[in-house]
Chains A and B, each alone.
Chain A
Amino acid sequence: MSDDHGSIFDGLIGGDSAQWAFGTDFEDPLAGVDTTVPGGVDHAELAAYCLMLGDDALIMSQRLTEWCSRAPDLEEDIALANVALDLLGQARLLLARAAAADPGVPPALPEGSPVPPEDALAFFRDAGGFRNVRLAEVPNGDFAHVVVRLLLFATARLAVLERLRASTDSVLAAVAAKSVKELTYHRDWAGRWFLTLAQGTEESRRRLLAALEGLWPFQAELFAGHPVELSLARAGVGVDPATARDEVDAVLDQVLAVSGVARPDVAPLPGGGRHGTHTEDFGPLLAEMQVVARAHPSGRW
């Protein structure tokens, strides 16, 4: 960074990016993409909807990233990092789309700050501004926990984004078409590990069932349908998540049946994430994710 003290690194900032062996970052992930909002669609609603889908991916990615160097073996460590990277890519496009739809959405930064709009959204919003479901933010547990969480998350997201491929917003439709391919691998990974843990040892099954019972109550929120989701679904831009419920149930029932595991009989937990009401564990997650960017709001990376 070069924001508040001159340093020997100043000479490396700006200028020709050819000096970097691996390039510098793409300034705009939607460079050259037509981001015109379809006629009749409310810009603020579209931005809010993109934040919901983008924040789900961003926060889930952050939790998966916390697994780096902690998975049972190197292959699964790399698998979780790959899934996290895919979701981060989806989040980046969706947050950029939110900012393009409604430039008033990203928080204001000091004059001249080089932080791009999607980074401003990720690193400079407070907890109440995030629209992700709570399933994405609950703290990590053991390996069974991440398997169950990813199974529930990827199954629901895949079913919703399959439908979003028909969005009249061409950017959302394109991001959905791309993401569906990635989520297919995520869901398969989680489904296979679910089966493996269920049929593994007594201990692996005990842990799997405990994770399933603990996370199942968060599932209801995924299908609750925020007014913005319902309004944009009517406009042909978004998807009412309730319409994906049958498909999600069918997939999960298939995994449960093959694994010999009964559907948990537990009461759903209240949602609120879509309205910005999060669990108490969300603050520490954001603090860790945002601390460096917030310490240097004019930093260049």
Chain B
Amino acid sequence: MFDSLQDRLGSILNGLTGRGALSEKDVSAALREVRRALLEADVALEVVREFTERVRAKAVGAEVLKSIKPGQMVVKIVHDELIETLGSEGVSIDLNAPAPVTLMMVGLQGSGKTTTTGKIAKRLKDKQRKKVLMASLDTRRPAAQEQLKVLGEQTQVDTLPIIAGQGPVEIAVRAEQAARLGGYDVVILDTAGRTHIDEPLMVEMANIKVRTKPHEILLVADSLTGQDAVNLARSFDERVGVTGIVLTRVDGDGRGGAALSMRAVTGKPIKLIGVGEKMDALEDFHPSRIADRILGMGDIVSLVEKAAENIDAEKAAAMAKKMQAGKFDLNDLADQIRQMQTMGGMGGMMGLMPGMGKMKDQMASAGLDDKMLKRQLAIIGSMTPKERSQPDILKHSRKKRIAAGSGTNSAEINKLLKMHRQMADLMKTMGKKGKGGMMKQMMGGLAGKMGMGGLGGGMPGGMGGMPDLSKMDPKQIEAMAKAMQQGGGAPGMPNMPPGIGGPGGLPGLPGSGGGVPGLPGLPGKKK
């Protein structure tokens, strides 16, 4: 789906190696791709336009260093400019005012205001030892006030008692009084979500501001927002003057272009990001991580986190034991496939990896898609427990039954069995060699088997080796996709988990029980 910008620029600018400086023409060609990459990442068009003009000004005539390619040079300039636009990190919530300091949360419906209110309160209480009072002014959405109350109980932060029938402004005023009388350091006002073209509600919001004079007004916005991000950010900012932005759902797999859009049109800092549903899933904002995502550089950090999150420690340990015993049955294979599937299937994983964009397309065109995963699971699912643990007993009549049950045919079943056999053999060999470097061997081994020499070299070294993929020539990738499809007669996909496998194969791999540290050779983020 998304090629990394580097991939794209590579194909446009690779011919330019050796020239001294970037010409106007080179830059223009590159900027077309930059534009597209930004738009695919949901950066608003008007922001893209300004941004590319700024890049143009910096790039034309820029010296291309000897050791790097012009494409990389442009990516670097774009990257630096992105980070600069996104703003510096570590702008925290400002509490530098007489107590009680009022924070007001505003935003569209469903953007995450209430959850964020709870998170900020908890953070201030735990990390800054502040006495915090939360008040919900959302009298419109059913049970919204109740929701904040429950969050208060969970985080042990006080909430303003609910009085039925009061309007938002009244509640806000009451919260202020309660905070003053109760000796609170901070009072957080959680307002109802509103559409910025809903005039009466925008007026209401402005009234709340006038009556409570908040020290901080935080715009809470979904990082998955599309082009509308500029409209909403501008409207809220014009109306009440936001002092900062909190981006939510950054733990999703969106490219996060809305961050750039909102920052660019308001000039207001992104203060915090929400990275999960738990009350402690709130982090400081790091422009470089978002910049990498927007550029489709593959956020290695989030890839690793994702893999770690998906590793079921118990299963991994059980798998390790089985492997040592040389046992890898169809249940295990099904586990692997399922892990892969739930991690977002082929698409989800590939999208996160740098340089995988092209390969994804190749694989899709070779029919190596998520449907195949589903069919493979259906086949295994139609087997009896005994058949799954002892695939050897699968003879003709059983295969016929399984084919009927899973809506497949015996050729597909045979392919699956063959692939399983190969994997099981490999596991057996590795089981004997002990734990150390098992994953490396497995990957290398499978890659070799599947004729994936190039990949085998890149992957087993850990994910840090992956960016090499982006330099692979398309023919190689094509050959690889082919190899995977036919590779030793094995059908493509399910080779993926262990093979290409970093991601798909990680879950359940021995030694990975502890999560990330178990990934051999993983050098963390590498640029």
A and B assemble together: no
Binding site for A on B (CB under 8 A): none
